[in-house]
């Protein structure tokens, strides 16, 4: 094979790894983020400044790729005489001029962004549109940094391709840019989905969803986020707005999401619990987010405890006297966690101990509290 072609192929391979490192290289540390980690600082602690620096460094580093190609070719394919400027072909000379201009232009661009401590960086300009009249982009940045430090945020992906949702913000990072939107200012819609028969990570069919995030009032450009359909349940928990599915895309849910849906539908048909007027209902002690809205009452017609049980049968249901302390979702998750994990088909007919007093209950005994959703 011609040396020029060989050098080109090898160079493209390494440049490809450098621009879009596969997961193995991200963990092995051969990425801009890892090479420059000292200068970039901590993503968890100073999210916005980290990404301002990361995108700037990436623009500069990637602009050297054509020049690197020219130098490698000159070194490993000497028959092209690329290092003797009086003998080199006009085409190659043009390539050399462009590959020298690119790093120059990108350095000028980053220097411009860096003026007044990054006031001119595209991300800083974006943030200045997100604050109110009295706030600067720096105050918006520090609000995002504070929320990103919390452990209860949703994240998916690697630093250069990250989707993060905090209490008030939805953020997507890409190689050269970062998109930010406020949760109160967005419409979300499921734009399309892709299915892949095999994922190299776990040998199962995977579905990726593309969700369009459209800012309403801030005037920012819409962007789309992409994630595994199994992550949708966690994402929804963190989102304040619903995701519209106007195209009726069928979403592959995780096993626990599918069970939770079946659990909720079953409970809707059960009898309801009417709380006595003096009963005070507190927040669910599982998630601390929703009001407790279920009560365990033995309403199924299983034989009472004092009758002899057929051997090997599940324990009979027992009346639970606990006050309502759980929401429907947390009760569903608890119930699923007490079932045989290898036999999901038996879960709906299974039994579980009450999370507080250990009294056995079945799905029929879970009663929604009247007037609490």
Determine, following the binding rule CB under 5 A, whether residue 318 of this chain makes contact with Zn ion.
Answer: no
Its sign, for the CA torsion 71, 73, 75, 76, is positive
Between residues 198 and 357, which has the closer beta carbon with respect to Zn ion? 357
Between residues 75 and 322, which has the closer beta carbon with respect to Zn ion? 322
Between residues 123 and 366, which has the closer beta carbon with respect to Zn ion? 366
Between residues 218 and 270, which has the closer beta carbon with respect to Zn ion? 270
What separation in angstroms does the CA of 120 have from each of 180, 185, 208, 292?
16, 24, 35, 49
Please select the residue that binds Zn ion; options are 225, 260, 317, 336, rule is CB under 5 A.
Answer: 317
Determine, following the binding rule CB under 5 A, whether residue 286 of this chain makes contact with Zn ion.
Answer: yes
User: How many residues are given for the chain?
Assistant: 373
Between residues 182 and 372, which has the closer beta carbon with respect to Zn ion? 372
Closest separation in Å from C-beta 302 to Zn ion: 5
Determine, following the binding rule CB under 5 A, whether residue 357 of this chain makes contact with Zn ion.
Answer: yes
CA pair distance 272, 275, nearest whole angstrom: 9
Between residues 185 and 365, which has the closer beta carbon with respect to Zn ion? 365
Task: Name the one range near Zn ion by CB under 5 A: 179-187, 221-229, 230-238, 362-370.
Answer: 362-370
Please select the residue that binds Zn ion; options are 354, 366, 367, 369, rule is CB under 5 A.
Answer: 354
Q: Which of 231, 334, 352 is nearest to 285 (CA)?
A: 334
Determine, following the binding rule CB under 5 A, whether residue 82 of this chain makes contact with Zn ion.
Answer: no
**Structure tokens belonging to residue 239:** 């989102």
- Looking at residue 361, the DSSP 8-state letter turns out to be E
Please select the residue that binds Zn ion; options are 75, 205, 216, 322, rule is CB under 5 A.
Answer: 322
Closest separation in Å from C-beta 305 to Zn ion: 12
Q: Would you give the distance in Å from CA 273 to the centre of its chain?
A: 37
**Structure tokens belonging to residue 273:** 């619990």
Determine, following the binding rule CB under 5 A, whether residue 85 of this chain makes contact with Zn ion.
Answer: no
What count of other Cβ atoms lies within 10 Å of the Cβ of residue 250? 10
Q: Would you give the distance in Å from CA 119 to the centre of its chain?
A: 28
Q: What are 246's strand-pairing partners?
A: none
- Looking at residue 283, the DSSP 8-state letter turns out to be B
Closest separation in Å from C-beta 300 to Zn ion: 3
Tell me which residues touch Zn ion (CB under 5 A): 284, 286-287, 300, 317, 320, 322, 327, 330, 354, 356-357, 359, 362, 365
């Amino acid at each position: 094979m011609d040396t020029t072609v060989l050098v080109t192929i090898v160079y493209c391979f390494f440049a490809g790894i450098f621009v879009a490192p596969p997961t193995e290289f991200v963990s092995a540390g051969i990425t801009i983020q890892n090479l420059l980690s000292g200068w970039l600082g901590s993503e968890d602690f100073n999210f916005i400044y980290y990404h301002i620096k990361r995108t700037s460094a990436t623009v500069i580093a990637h602009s050297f790729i054509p020049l690197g190609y020219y130098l490698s070719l000159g070194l490993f394919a000497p028959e092209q005489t690329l290092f003797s400027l009086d003998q080199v072909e006009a085409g190659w000379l043009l390539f050399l001029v462009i590959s020298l201009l690119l790093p120059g232009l990108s350095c000028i661009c980053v220097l411009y962004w860096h003026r007044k401590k990054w006031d001119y960086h595209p991300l800083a300009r974006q943030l200045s549109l997100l604050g109110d009249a009295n706030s600067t982009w720096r105050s918006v940045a520090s609000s995002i940094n504070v929320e990103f430090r919390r452990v209860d945020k949703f994240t998916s992906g690697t630093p250069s391709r990250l989707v993060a949702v905090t209490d008030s913000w939805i953020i997507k990072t890409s190689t050269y840019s970062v998109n930010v939107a406020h949760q109160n200012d967005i419409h979300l819609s499921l734009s399309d989905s892709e299915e892949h028969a095999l994922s190299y990570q776990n040998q199962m069919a995977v579905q990726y969803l593309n969700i369009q995030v459209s800012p309403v009032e801030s005037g920012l450009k819409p962007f789309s986020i992409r994630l595994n359909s199994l992550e949708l349940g966690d994402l929804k928990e963190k989102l304040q707005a619903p995701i519209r599915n106007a195209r009726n895309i069928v979403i592959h849910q995780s096993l626990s999401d599918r069970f939770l849906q079946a659990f909720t539908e079953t409970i809707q048909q059960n009898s309801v619990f009417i709380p006595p007027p003096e009963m005070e209902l507190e927040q669910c002690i599982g998630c601390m987010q929703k009001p407790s809205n279920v009560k365990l009452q033995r309403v199924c017609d299983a034989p009472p405890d004092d009758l002899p049980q057929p051997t090997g049968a599940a324990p009979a249901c027992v009346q639970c006297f606990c006050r309502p302390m759980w929401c429907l979702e947390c009760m569903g998750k608890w119930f699923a966690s007490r079932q045989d994990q290898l036999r999901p088909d038996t879960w709906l007919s299974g039994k579980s101990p009450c999370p507080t007093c250990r009294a056995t209950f079945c799905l029929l005994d879970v009663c929604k509290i009247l007037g609490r959703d």
